[in-house]
Amino acid sequence: MRAVTFEEFGKPAGVKNVADPTPTPHGVVVRVEATGLCRSDWHAWQGHDPDITLPHVPGHELAGVVEATGAAVTAWHPGDRVTVPFVCACGNCPACAAGDQQVCERQTQPGFTHWGSFAQYVALDHADVNLVALPEEMSYGTAASLGCRFATAFRAVVTQGRVASGEWAAVHGCGGVGLSAVMIAAASGARVIAVDVSPQALDLAREFGAAHCVDASAVTDTAAAVHDLTAGGAHLSLDALGSPVTCAASVDSLRRRGRHIQVGLLPSETGTTPVPMARAIALELELLGSHGMAAHAYPPMLELVRAGVLRPDLLVTSTISLDAAPEALAAMGTAPGSGVTVIEPWS
């Protein structure tokens, strides 16, 4: 098969012919019809994840068709249209038994713990626990955007963030996950403030329901801007980018007893991320993380998509070939995000 591979962290990746994967007894091989280009893939390429061994194939947001199944797989068959959370759970550990597969103690992640979906085929383990059936009317490109960014944002806003109608919700960073959070919070009835440095990203945030936008390149204190717009601060604030600056700004944006959700990964090379804990204590703030969403939690989200309440298809702003993926991956380190780019490995 053809796949995007890199042999050194941070050095140019390329498209090569590599061996086709084979399924484990509990796993499947999926023919990848679409896969999202995510900032987490850029972190992997940069060497920020300790699970990665070289050479490596990135990619963790995917949708496609089951090509082959292991002998122990009972729920899936060749030809099934599927997607998968980026956290693939074991199904047997205490976290899985509690229904918390997104923090499985023995989790695997395509594109991190093993070769991923920037390829024509990808192997996925524990298929009966992790695969999600796609509605027939959903395109592969839309489905690929669900597995990391949209599903992560859905759980961050709805489950971890407990968003409520009429609340103020601030979203710091309007790439794929941030724009997803804007759309989901607005659809839940929240008044959303989008914060980013990119005019294109802020334009999309307005399109997806943001009541106000803050250009972080034009103000010296984004948290103060949020307080001014809300007359007291946000009830819920998310750092969807993942940087010391946006993390602190998200916490500082909150009103008393507000809720901060950390969604964006914080690069390890920055060392310890300073968090305004004195404020967290004084105002009794909640500081929570959010790490994907388990496969069993997908149905309510998929129903909202089916009903047209949520439109993840609108987040897909670019579709590229596998050959264009290495350059697009490298550009994520410097280019501002504006929606979701989807790779079609067979185009």
Task: Tell me the pTM.
Answer: 0.92
- Sequence-separated (6 or more) residues with CB below 8 Å from residue 28: 66, 67, 68, 69, 70, 73, 76, 123, 124, 127, 131
In the chain, what are the domain boundaries?
2-148+293-344, 162-289
**pLDDT attached to residue 270:** 54
Contacts for 148 with CB less than 8 Å, ≥ 6 apart: 36, 38, 40, 60, 61, 85, 86, 177, 292
Strand 212-215 and strand 61-69: the pairing is unpaired
Provide the pLDDT for residue 271.
Answer: 60
Least Cα distance to 330 among 51, 7, 43, 55 occurs for 43
Q: What is the pLDDT of residue 273?
A: 82
Are the C-beta atoms of residues 91 and 129 closer than 8 Å to each other? yes
Say if domain 2-148+293-344 classifies as CATH 3.90.180.10.
yes
Same fold? 2-148+293-344, 162-289: no
Distance of CA 93 to the CA centre of its chain: 24
Residue-level pLDDT at 48: 86
- Return all residues near 300 (Cβ < 8 A) that are at least 6 apart: none
Cross-strand bridge partners of residue 259 = 236, 286
Q: What is the pLDDT of residue 192?
A: 98
pLDDT by residue, tens only, the chain of 347 residues: 999 999 999 999 999 999 999 999 999 999 999 999 988 899 899 998 888 999 999 999 999 999 999 999 999 999 999 999 999 999 999 999 999 999 999 999 999 999 999 999 999 999 999 999 999 999 999 999 898 889 999 999 999 999 999 999 999 999 889 999 999 999 999 999 999 999 999 999 999 999 999 999 999 999 999 999 999 999 999 999 999 999 999 999 999 999 999 999 886 665 678 899 999 999 999 999 999 999 999 999 999 999 999 999 999 989 999 999 999 999 988 765 667 899 999 99
pLDDT value for 265: 83
Tell me what pLDDT residue 336 has.
57
What's residue 274's pLDDT? Answer: 87
If you classify domain 162-289 with CATH, what class do you get?
alpha beta
